[in-house]
Amino acid sequence: MAPYTITYFAVRGRCGATRIMLADQGQEWKEIVVSFEDWMKGDLKKTCVFGQLPKFEDGGLTLFQSNTFLRHLGRKHGAYGKNDCEAAQIDMFNDGVEDLRTKYLKMIYQEYETGKDAYIKDLPNHLCKFEAVLAKNKSGFLVGDSISFADYSLFEVLLNHLVLSPTCLDSLPALKSFVDTLSARPKIKAFLDSEDYKKLPINGNGKQ
């Protein structure tokens, strides 16, 4: 039986990075898909600590907050650095990715028609920060010489941005190489090629 369960709407949304991480770590998981109609009944919402999905279960442990899922999996599967200093840096970069994800989601859900062009124009100012980190570290990962949960989160946010603006990495060679390398990891490649991944829209409002 799969040890992990994700309960969420039928989107990649805030579980995109978790799913990619689970796939790359060779883990199996069960998906419970919640329809808009079922969610609106309110019973499930009442059981969610912050009144929102996704929910992540690891045996008897129930978690909410998507970045918490990544941290939990990072601890369990050796993707949280080699020591406390690396772990702190991984937290820092994951928080940086979260800042970018939040800006992206605000644009997608609240100002797609009015704000998309300005968002794309401003994007290099955000992406160049990650470009500098990867160019300096040289290992191909954000921190140290092995993959961490922050790498999966950055990778997934970049995949979404490449859909929004296919040329957004053209002048950012370290980020381009990062995406190419992670996309080619066999278990990630198999997952990204799967119907399970492809059938889900990126966002819940059809914008991407």
Q: Which residues bind ligand 0HH (CB under 6 A)?
A: 9, 11, 13-14, 36, 39, 45, 52-54, 65-67, 204
CB of 91 to ligand 0HH, least distance (A): 15
Identify which of residues 36 and 138 has a Cβ nearer to ligand 0HH in the complex: 36
Identify which of residues 66 and 89 has a Cβ nearer to ligand 0HH in the complex: 66
CA proximity to 103, closest of 133, 123, 132, 130: 123
Element of type H or E holding 6: strand 4-8
| Helix boundaries (H) for 25-148 | 36-41, 43-47, 66-76, 84-110, 112-137
Identify which of residues 8 and 169 has a Cβ nearer to ligand 0HH in the complex: 8
CB of 126 to ligand 0HH, least distance (A): 19
CB of 34 to ligand 0HH, least distance (A): 8
CB of 65 to ligand 0HH, least distance (A): 5
Taking CB atoms, the residue at the shortest distance from ligand 0HH is 204
CA proximity to 53, closest of 3, 7, 116: 7
Q: Is 28 helix (H, G, I), strand (E, B) or coil?
A: coil
Identify which of residues 17 and 90 has a Cβ nearer to ligand 0HH in the complex: 17
Identify which of residues 13 and 81 has a Cβ nearer to ligand 0HH in the complex: 13
CB of 17 to ligand 0HH, least distance (A): 10
Question: Does residue 77 contact residue 27 with C-beta atoms inside 8 Å?
Answer: yes
What single letter denotes the amino acid at residue 107?
A: M
127 φ, ψ (degrees, to nearest 5): -65, -30
CB of 124 to ligand 0HH, least distance (A): 26
Identify which of residues 39 and 197 has a Cβ nearer to ligand 0HH in the complex: 39
Interatomic CA distance for residues 48 and 38, integer angstroms: 14
Question: Does residue 162 contact residue 168 with C-beta atoms inside 8 Å?
Answer: yes
Radius of gyration over alpha carbons of the chain, in Å?
A: 17
